[in-house]
A = this chain, B = another copy of it.
Amino acid sequence: MTDPDVRAAIMRGTYEALCEHGYTELTAQDIADRTDKSKSLLFYHYDSKEDLLADFLEFLFERFDERVAETRDLSPVERLAVFVDWFLYGPEENDRQSFHVAMLELRTQAPYNEAFREKLRKGDDQLRAVLEEILRDGLAAGEFSEHDPEETAALLIAAFDGARIRQLTIGRDEYLEQVRTATATWVFDDLLAEGASFPADRDPSTLPETDQQHRLAADLGTEGGNGTGDPDDETNGADADGGDAAGDEPTERDRE
């Protein structure tokens, strides 16, 4: 649609506005205020606020693709560990909490909004494809025991998404560690083939937090893709949906 630099600036403004205002109360003016564009110039590039936010989801998916590409040299077991970390990063990552809350608000509007629903389905396709590829590659390499990659991917994505959403909405950080440990116990212990193991520095059951390189791309992966939270910062990713860190309560906001 638009010059890539202009788009990147609008995407950055959108990210910042979502962090500050959440989704429900977001206005196009809030976004314009965080760029050097006027509100009317935003609507030169986008037909509507909805159109802009749909492109923002697309932008996150592109970032997620880039993150995934960076992991392609790792073994399937290592990639699986990175994938877990993408979702279940530690609650100390509070800097992006408000963004994740906003993304969850947006997701809940998808039943009413076809443009969002279509984008989120695309993200779901992307996310499942990545995890299924990891599982299939692991089967082919003999690292994983026989299983149905499609069903296993659905279970893992649902469990990680549910854990993030519950942690995010009610601020119960324990969901992250409990689901991490229970997944290792019930799924990964059986999934790993005889002789295979997670690398010591990436064991999902013990790693309290992902490494800086990957932590960003992940949670937004929840709704099927994710990218960098800060669109210009290659060392800091963000999310296309509801995950989040919760130790701190988000700012109270009266919406009644």
Contacts and interface: CB of A to CB of B under 8 A. Distances in A.
A49 interface: yes
A104 B175 CA distance: 18
A174 B249 CA distance: 34
Given A170-B124, A252-B114, A154 B163 contact: yes
Interface stretch (A60-68, A71-79, A145-153): A145-153
A44 to B, nearest CB: 17
A94 to B, nearest CB: 12
A177 B187 CA distance: 18
Contacts of A256: 48-50
Interface of A is mostly: helix
Interface string A220-256: 0001000000000000000000100000011111111
A158 interface: yes
A170 B242 CA distance: 14
A39 to B, nearest CB: 14
Interface string A134-154: 000000000000011011101
A157 B150 contact: no
A6 interface: no
Nearest to A250: B111
Contacts of A165: 107, 161-162, 165, 242
A185 B239 CA distance: 30
Given A163-B154, A179-B155, A249 B169 contact: no
B121 A250 contact: no
Contact of A185 (B104, B151, B168): B151
30 contacts: A22-B112, A24-B109, A101-B108, A104-B108, A105-B108, A107-B165, A108-B169, A108-B242, A110-B169, A110-B170, A111-B171, A111-B249, A112-B255, A117-B169, A117-B171, A121-B170, A121-B171, A148-B181, A151-B179, A151-B181, A154-B163, A157-B162, A158-B163, A158-B166, A159-B159, A161-B162, A161-B165, A162-B163, A165-B165, A186-B187
